[in-house]
């Protein structure tokens, strides 16, 4: 068995028959290699000078071969005197496939052998080669010490407004409630035997190699190929590969059949090196946390949650009529009562007794589809009295939506609505933009740039220039296709690709403390600048007109965003009949999601429902389906007719779809509000389940890492204020 080693190493011995000799050639030895060798020597000098051990051979039972002749050996078996003696640990300083290790024979990681673009070596910096006096590799070990996250991360120092103590306390309290259970589990994971410590990645986004969920805590790594699995996926590996002690032949056969059935839906789930499969015993626990830092954070979070919340003082006269118009009982209401409460708002001056909160309807043939006006009058007690809040008799499946002109809605009032989980519309934003976001602007600026466009009904795609795409805007005659240029730019950061548009959007966006990339109440604003932060936009969504009658797939099919979102229409051509251009939105309450799924599964009877019917993004509910949905399940949508200058706020967890009734240019951004962290967490789990059956999308939000960084960032700001 392995002898007493240093506290920062645990040892895995490798057996290969004859020793493997390194290349002693000095050919090509240059200054760069001398520098590298000196750096390795300095790091190795910090390790103990030798590791004593008792090597094992003649292992019992079946052992999986690693790359080459080397293999991990068990802790039982006969002694092998040939490898007895001191070992010298050498940190793996370079990638597995680097020239430095070209002649060495040891297990290479999956990233290096498959040369995955954008990935890093899984073993570099955390694996030690254990060499004998002849420089033969006879074993490997892994790092067991870890440094705190805070000193290595470059946190932001400026926000859209000064970060006040109230912002810091609210953010910390929200993070504590959401993250504390995860951190407690991680502490148990961290003290597991033979845990591998690795620093938190800054140049890549660490994700589970199976379900693509971002890895924050409690992960497991295969010691042979370096694949990393989240706790849920490792649990599945254990379920599929571990036999119960004393299992009979029937149990063994049943597990084998279960493993084969799972392979049909996810054939690469157990893939390891070459033709081998993973087994649970070849995984080791991995942690990116420093134990003292983690314990301190857990203790502080527990105290913060127990402490009473200190409400910021409110100046007299700060409350507006808009503030008093929000009904806090909206959440959880149903039917007409919820529709009534959702419509409550006051418009104009605080002394107005009645005003309309209806979504502006397009002129022309679709006016009847808009929500009916709702009259509001204030009673002596200050609570608004709702009149005529029943949905329109012609559109009973539609909720009215709270709509405000720019400048009418205070941040305090917005938060009261937002925590109820309902969409909000703010109108009249175009005067705040200094650039005209028109087809002519993009033709003049980016005409020669190539892009990929998709046909909304058939999913056909083609590459054209930006100029060719925007020149089609407004030309309806003879057109049969509906093309869209979505998520533009597709990979480049919007700020880097279009700096002037980014600045224009940033200075004009409503509720900037929530929506801006540097918003003081946007949890994502705390992400360190030296890490791979989530790309929350802004992005542009440009699409041509389509129809919403039977058989339509709209412009954007039914889906949920990974976080909260704001979408602003910047330009719309007149509709084919000459009326002002609009886009028709249907937004569903988060609490209606399960019944919405039941309706879709029942309707399609499995033909398109192999995956989640919302997250699959394959369905658009046309006008007939919306009426059937209301008739069968009582589910209404918030119907919004968005016109140029209108911003639609979409809470996380609200399924929604869009049908452009004219050629439209829009810009959108995601954000993570304190009010909707729980919904974002739920969505992360749903997206993970979707990835189990189809490779759908990577977890770019990294919600738990985002909250961890927000906590550390707020602590840092508190330190500055002391």
Strand partners, 425: 403, 648
pLDDT at position 273, please? 77
Phi and psi torsions of 155, nearest 5° = -80, 155
Tell me which of 482-491, 605-614, 644-653 is least confident.
605-614
Inter-residue contact 224 to 64 (CB < 8 Å): yes
Inter-residue contact 543 to 661 (CB < 8 Å): no
Mean pLDDT score, 138-165:
86
pLDDT at position 43, please? 43
Mean pLDDT score, 270-282:
83
Residue 536 falls inside a structural domain: yes
Q: Which range, 102-111, 200-209, 435-444, is most confident? A: 435-444
- Residue with more model confidence, 449 or 251: 449
3-state secondary structure of 142: strand
CA-wise closest residue to 619 among 552, 688, 542:
552
CA-wise closest residue to 200 among 141, 234, 155, 150:
150
How many helices (DSSP H) and strands (DSSP E) are in the chain?
Answer: 18, 27
pLDDT at position 579, please? 95
pLDDT at position 14, please? 52
DSSP characters for 236-292?
A: HHHHHHPPPTT--HHHHHHHHHHHHHHHHH-TTTTB-STT-B--GGGEEEEE---HH
pLDDT at 625 over 50: yes
Provide the pLDDT confidence category of residue 607 given band limits of 50, 70 and 90: low
The percent of residues above 90 in pLDDT, for the chain, comes to 49
Phi and psi torsions of 426, nearest 5° = -120, 130
CA distance 107 to 223: 9
Instruction: Give 408-467 pLDDT, tens digit per residue.
Output: 999 999 999 999 999 999 999 999 999 999 999 999 999 999 999 999 999 999 999 999
Provide the mean pLDDT of the chain: 78
Instruction: Give 339-379 pLDDT, tens digit per residue.
Output: 333 333 332 332 333 333 333 333 333 333 333 332 322 33
Phi and psi torsions of 138, nearest 5° = -120, 0
- Residue with more model confidence, 12 or 26: 12
Q: Which range, 107-121, 342-356, 494-508, 675-689, is most confident? A: 494-508
pLDDT at position 628, please? 94
Give the CA angle between residues 160, 161, 162 to the nearest 5°. Answer: 135
Residue 100 falls inside a structural domain: no
3-state secondary structure of 462: strand
CA-wise closest residue to 325 among 383, 279, 258, 286:
383
pLDDT at position 394, please? 58
pLDDT at 709 over 70: yes
CA-wise closest residue to 551 among 456, 474, 664:
456
Mean pLDDT score, 505-525:
97
Instruction: Give 14-28 pLDDT, tens digit per residue.
Output: 544 433 333 333 333
The percent of residues above 70 in pLDDT, for the chain, comes to 73
Q: Which range, 59-68, 322-331, 405-414, is most confident? A: 405-414
pLDDT at position 117, please? 66
The contacts found for 713-716 with CB under 8 angstroms, 24 or more apart, are 713/155, 713/156, 713/526, 713/528, 714/168, 714/171, 714/172, 714/175, 714/526, 715/150, 715/172, 716/150, 716/155
pLDDT at position 40, please? 44
Residue 213 falls inside a structural domain: no
- Residue with more model confidence, 245 or 410: 410
Residue 189 falls inside a structural domain: no
The residue segments making up the domain with residue 638 are 405-719
CA distance 185 to 716: 25
Mean pLDDT score, 644-668:
97
Residue 59 falls inside a structural domain: no
pLDDT at position 689, please? 79
Strand partners, 2: 53
| Strand extents, DSSP E, 445-533 | 450-455, 461-465, 483-488
Count of domains observed in the chain = 1
Mean pLDDT score, 598-626:
84
pLDDT at position 325, please? 43
Residue 657 falls inside a structural domain: yes
Q: Which range, 30-39, 396-405, 426-435, 607-616, is most confident? A: 426-435
Tell me which of 391-395, 492-496, 548-552 is least confident.
391-395
Tell me which of 41-55, 181-195, 266-280, 431-445 is least confident.
41-55
Residue 691 falls inside a structural domain: yes
- Residue with more model confidence, 244 or 685: 685
CATH number for position 685: 2.60.120.650
pLDDT at position 355, please? 35
Provide the pLDDT confidence category of residue 163 given band limits of 50, 70 and 90: very high
| Strand extents, DSSP E, 479-635 | 483-488, 539-543, 556-559, 564-572, 583-587
Contacts of 482 (CB under 8 A, 6+ apart): 455, 456, 457, 543, 544, 545, 546, 555, 660
Go through 85-99 and write b for each residue having 16 or more CB atoms within 10 A of its CB, e for each that does not.
Answer: eebbbbbbbbbbeee
CA distance 286 to 302: 25
Residue 55 falls inside a structural domain: no
Instruction: Give 558-592 pLDDT, tens digit per residue.
Output: 999 999 999 999 999 999 999 999 999 999 999 99
- Residue with more model confidence, 389 or 542: 542
3-state secondary structure of 83: helix
pLDDT at 280 over 60: yes
Inter-residue contact 234 to 323 (CB < 8 Å): no
Inter-residue contact 657 to 556 (CB < 8 Å): yes
Element (H, E) at 114: helix 110-114
């Amino acid at each position: 068995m392995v002898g007493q080693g240093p506290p920062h190493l645990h040892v895995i011995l490798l057996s290969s028959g004859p020793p493997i000799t390194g290349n002693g050639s000095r050919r090509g030895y240059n200054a760069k290699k001398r520098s590298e060798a000196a750096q390795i020597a300095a790091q190795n000098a910090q390790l103990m000078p030798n590791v004593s051990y008792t090597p094992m051979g003649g292992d019992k039972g079946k052992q999986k071969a690693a790359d080459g002749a080397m293999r991990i050996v068990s802790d039982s078996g006969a002694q092998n005197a040939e490898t007895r003696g001191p070992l010298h640990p050498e940190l793996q300083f370079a990638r597995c496939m680097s020239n430095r290790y070209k002649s060495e024979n040891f297990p290479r990681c999956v990233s290096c052998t498959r040369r995955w673009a954008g990935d890093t070596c899984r073993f570099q910096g955390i694996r030690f080669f254990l060499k004998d006096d002849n420089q033969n590799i006879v074993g490997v070990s892994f790092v067991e010490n870890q440094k705190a996250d805070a000193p290595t991360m470059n946190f932001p120092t400026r926000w859209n407004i000064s970060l006040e103590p109230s912002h810091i306390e609210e953010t910390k309290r929200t993070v504590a409630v959401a993250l504390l259970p995860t951190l407690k589990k991680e502490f148990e994971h961290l003290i597991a035997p033979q845990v591998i410590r690795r620093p938190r990645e800054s140049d890549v986004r660490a994700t589970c190699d199976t379900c693509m969920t971002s890895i924050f805590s409690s992960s497991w790594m295969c010691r042979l190929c370096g694949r990393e699995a989240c706790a849920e996926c490792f649990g599945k590996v254990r379920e599929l590969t571990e036999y119960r002690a004393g299992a009979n032949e029937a149990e063994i056969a049943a597990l084998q059949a279960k493993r084969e059935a799972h392979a049909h839906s996810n054939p690469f789930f157990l893939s390891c090196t070459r033709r081998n499969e993973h087994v649970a015993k070849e995984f080791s626990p991995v942690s990116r946390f420093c134990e003292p830092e983690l314990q301190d954070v857990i203790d502080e979070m527990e105290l913060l949650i127990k402490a009473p919340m200190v409400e910021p003082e409110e100046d007299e006269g700060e409350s507006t009529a808009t503030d008093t118009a929000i009904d806090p009982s909206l959440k959880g209401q149903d039917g007409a009562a919820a529709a009534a409460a959702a419509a409550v708002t006051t418009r104009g001056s605080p002394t107005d007794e009645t005003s309309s909160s209806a979504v502006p309807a397009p002129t022309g043939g679709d006016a009847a589809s808009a929500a009916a006006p709702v009259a509001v009058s204030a009673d002596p007690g200050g609570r608004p009295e709702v009149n005529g809040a029943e949905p329109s008799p012609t559109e009973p499946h539609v909720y009215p939506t709270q709509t405000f002109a720019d400048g009418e809605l205070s941040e305090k009032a917005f938060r009261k609505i937002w925590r109820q989980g309902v969409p909000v519309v703010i109108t009249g934003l175009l005067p705040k933009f200094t650039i005209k976001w028109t087809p002519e602007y993009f033709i003049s600026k980016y005409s020669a740039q190539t892009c990929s466009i998709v046909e909304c009904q058939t999913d056909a795609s083609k590459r054209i220039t930006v100029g060719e795409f925007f020149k089609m805007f407004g030309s309806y005659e003879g057109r049969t296709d509906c093309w869209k240029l979505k998520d533009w730019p597709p990979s480049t950061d919007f700020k880097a690709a279009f700096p002037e548009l980014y600045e224009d959007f940033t200075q004009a966006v409503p509720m900037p403390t929530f929506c801006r990339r540097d918003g003081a109440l946007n949890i994502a604003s705390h992400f360190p600048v030296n890490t791979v932060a989530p790309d929350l936009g802004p992005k542009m969504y440009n699409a041509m007109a389509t129809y919403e009658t039977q058989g339509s797939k709209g412009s954007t099919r039914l889906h949920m965003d990974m976080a909260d979102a704001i979408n602003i229409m910047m330009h719309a051509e007149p509709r084919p009949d000459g009326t002002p251009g609009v886009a028709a939105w249907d937004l569903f309450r988060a609490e209606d999601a399960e019944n919405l799924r039941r309706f879709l599964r029942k309707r399609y009877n499995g033909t398109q429902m192999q995956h989640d019917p919302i997250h699959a993004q394959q369905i658009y509910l046309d006008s007939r389906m919306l009426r059937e949905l209301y008739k069968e399940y009582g589910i209404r949508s918030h119907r919004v007719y968005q016109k140029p200058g209108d911003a639609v706020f979409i809470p996380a967890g609200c399924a929604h779809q869009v049908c452009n009734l004219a050629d439209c240019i829009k810009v959108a951004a995601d954000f993570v509000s304190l009010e909707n962290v729980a919904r974002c967490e739920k969505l992360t789990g749903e997206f993970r389940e979707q990835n189990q059956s189809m490779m759908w999308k990577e977890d770019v939000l990294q919600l738990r890492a985002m909250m961890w960084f927000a906590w550390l960032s707020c602590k840092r700001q508190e330190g500055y204020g002391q």
